[in-house]
Structure 1
Amino acid sequence: MQREFLALALCCASLAASAQLADADPDWKELDAPPPPALRTSGLIAIDVPGSSLHFGVDPNSVAIGTDGVVRYVVVAQSSSGTVNGIYEGVRCSTGEVRVFARHNPSSGWVATTESPWRALSETPNNRYSLTIARDGMCLGQAPNQDKATILRDLRTPADRKFTGSGG
């Protein structure tokens, strides 16, 4: 338990510090996000978000590292009543920020978000899942994890095996 707390604290401190540093690359340009893929509810990688009544999962087919350094993916949230919503978002590991590109709900399908700024992962209390996803596999320090296969392996590694050398 202490090891998990220490890892979370170090990650949060690193992400907060990177967000305060502003951009190390003032010439950085965000690529246009490709359209979200079809929403899938099976084959998801479960994400444990302590204290949440929702069940979260990342669609492994949606994970992509852009040449702009943004890791884009779809996360699916399901309530205990069975309601399913999807969020197509990206994490910018170099600055510790997250941005929502589109939301999916049963009545409207995917709807692009028109005014969605980059927000610090540490300042998104309603989106604790984003911080968990970044910490558990999308980011490796202040950079995207090595490649898609490594991201997926790290997301699948149970929390009790992370940081022990016995993962994946």
Structure 2
Amino acid sequence: MIKSFQKSRSYALSALICLTLTACGGDPMVSGLDPFAPSVFKEGSTTMPLNPPNPDKLQSFYVSPTTVFKFSIDTSSILIGADGVTRYIVVITNPSGDQQAQYEGIRCDSYQWRLYGSYESGAWRPNPLSQWNYIKLHVPNRYQAALAQGALCDFSSQETSLKAVLRSLNPEKFTGGTQPTNSFGVMGN
């Protein structure tokens, strides 16, 4: 009878230990994964566009009163990536009418942009020196800042609705020429 009791107690103790270990398996302090730790950015793969900018889908947007260039985004090229990068084709027109098209991406979480490539001689050419650069606010040709502030970002978060991005690019609603404030009246990046 004592052996039976010890055996039962041993089984109960083993079951209790198993349950405790199972319950602790998801505990961040035990697993080493902190759910509140900042995540490390891992960019997804980026392929160059297959087509040139679509002239029927170019949407001009306001950048600043000091620029002499005209800026447009190909709305059919906007890709809202699951990696937190919004990619797009931008067309820059100089005062004489010459155009340059670039394929770029914006990260709202770090307020950075990247030039993936340019459209040259009828083909997309990757930028071999492509890297993430901080978006500059106080330069005349601040078009990345205008896009980030006016349509692609919701403060430091990526706008994930293409419909909302397209609505924000509407010239009557576009606010890219001004810097938004948060609810406390503090200027963003």
The TM-score bracket by the shorter chain reads: 0.7 to 0.9
Q: Using the alignment, how far apart are the partners of 1:120 and 1:161 within structure 2?
A: 20
Q: Which has the higher contact order (CA 8 A, sep 6+)?
A: 1
Which residue in the other structure is 1:154 paired with? 168
5+ long unaligned stretches in structure 2: 1-36, 181-189
5+ long unaligned stretches in structure 1: 1-22, 164-168
What TM-score do you get using the length of structure 1 for normalisation?
0.73
**1:71 equivalent in alignment to 2:71:** no
Q: What is the aligned-residue identity percentage?
A: 27
Which residue in the other structure is 1:104 paired with? 119
Q: Which amino acid is the alignment partner of residue 164 of structure 2?
A: T
User: How much has 1:126 moved relative to structure 2?
Assistant: 7.0
**1:94 equivalent in alignment to 2:94:** no
- Larger Cα Rg: Structure 1 or Structure 2? 2
User: How much has 1:125 moved relative to structure 2?
Assistant: 3.9
Which residue in the other structure is 1:122 paired with? 136
Which residue in the other structure is 1:137 paired with? 151
Query: Is the Cα–Cα contact under 8 Å of residues 85 and 158 in structure 2 kept in the other structure?
Result: yes
Q: Using the alignment, how far apart are the partners of 2:126 and 2:79 within structure 1?
A: 18
Three-state SS of the structure 2 residue aligned to 1:150 is: helix
User: How much has 1:159 moved relative to structure 2?
Assistant: 5.2
CA offset digits 1:90-146 (Å, max 9, x no partner):
0000110000101113x3532101111111113784751111011110000111113
Q: Using the alignment, how far apart are the partners of 1:108 and 1:161 within structure 2?
A: 33
Q: Using the alignment, how far apart are the partners of 2:153 and 2:90 within structure 1?
A: 16
More helix by share: 1
What CA RMSD, in Å, does the superposition of the two structures yield over aligned residues?
Answer: 2.5
- Count, aligned residues: 139
Query: Is the Cα–Cα contact under 8 Å of residues 138 and 151 in structure 1 kept in the other structure?
Result: yes
Three-state SS of the structure 1 residue aligned to 2:91 is: strand
Q: Using the alignment, how far apart are the partners of 1:137 and 1:25 within structure 2?
A: 24
Three-state SS of the structure 2 residue aligned to 1:29 is: coil
Which residue in the other structure is 2:46 paired with? 33
Q: 1:108 to 1:43 in 2, by over 3 A?
A: closer
Query: Is the Cα–Cα contact under 8 Å of residues 76 and 84 in structure 1 kept in the other structure?
Result: yes
